[in-house]
Amino acid sequence: MPIDRLERLDSLMRREIAEAMPSVMAGSGVNVATVTVTHVAVASNLRNATVSISIFAPPADRAHILSQIKARRIDFQRLVNRDIHMKYTPVLHFVLDESLEKGDRVLDILNKMEDAGEIPGAEDSK
């Protein structure tokens, strides 16, 4: 399958899964406002898809929320199958994406260094 077609499919599935999150997770006690679908990578054979999600919650709660989402994997697949017509419905594999938290940590460190005057030339940019 051509790369641009896979990228479009990744984007379409990311949007569909994100839109389905409130309805699928209703009644689970999970605050879906803390969950962001950051990326979907569909395999070239369309059999599997890795769904990266970011969860803005304390680390102890992240594991619980991720397990609740994984438990409803079939419901997500059913909605994807209903809305996106493909030869195969990929098996969804949810993984935690910590890149946003890592980026926030780096920005926090840079801000602290700038406030302490440890970054040369930082005063010139203000």
Sketch the domain layout of the chain as residue ranges: 3-98
Residue 84, pLDDT > 70, answer yes
Cα angle 23, 86, 5 (rounded to 5 degrees) comes to: 105
pLDDT in tens, 40-63: 999 988 899 999 999 988 888 889
Per-residue pLDDT averaged across 90-111, rounded?
84
- List residues bridging with 51 in a β-sheet: 40, 94
Tokens of 80: 């994807």
Name the more confident of 113 and 10.
10
Beta strands of 58-119 (E only): which ranges? 91-96
Block residue for tokens 């994406």: 97
Q: Judge if pTM exceeds 0.85.
A: no
pLDDT at residue 92 in the model: 95
pLDDT at residue 87 in the model: 82
Tokens of 61: 């709660």
Residue 125, pLDDT > 70, answer no
Tokens of 62: 């992240």
What percent of the chain is modeled with pLDDT above 70? 92
pLDDT at residue 120 in the model: 67
The chain-wide mean pLDDT, for the chain, equals 86
pLDDT at residue 5 in the model: 86
pLDDT at residue 126 in the model: 52
CATH architecture observed for domain 3-98? 2-Layer Sandwich (3.30)
